[in-house]
Amino acid sequence: MNEDSSFIIDDRVRGDGYANNGKPWRAVTDSVMGGISKADLRATTVSGKPCLHLRGEVHLENNGGFVQASLDLGAEGLLDASDFVGLEIEVCGNNESYNVHLRTGDTQMVWQSYRHSFTADTKWKTLRIPFADFMPHRIQLGLDTRHLRRIGIVAIGRKMEADICFSRIALYR
Q: Is residue 22 part of a domain?
A: yes
What is this structure's pTM? Answer: 0.95
Quote the pLDDT of residue 4. Answer: 66
> Is position 120 within any domain?
yes
- Give the pLDDT score at 63: 84
Sequence-separated (6 or more) residues with CB below 8 Å from residue 154: 66, 67, 68, 69, 98, 99, 100, 101
Q: Please indicate, yes or no, if residue 168 is contained in any of the structural domains.
A: no
60 falls within a domain? yes
Residue 122 scores a pLDDT above 70: yes
pLDDT of residue 2: 45
CA distances in angstroms from 104 to 16, 133, 145, 151, listed in the order given? 26, 16, 8, 9
- The pLDDT of residue 5 is 84
**Which domain covers residue 61, as residue numbers?**
7-82+97-163
Domain contains 89:
no
Average pLDDT over residues 101-108: 96
So what's the pLDDT on residue 1? Answer: 44
On average, the pLDDT of the chain sits at 95
* pLDDT tens per residue, range 146-171: 999 999 999 999 999 999 999 999 99
In a domain, 130, yes or no: yes
* Number of domains forming the structure of the chain: 1
CATH code, domain with 152: 2.60.120
Q: Per-residue pLDDT tens for 86-96?
A: 999 999 999 99
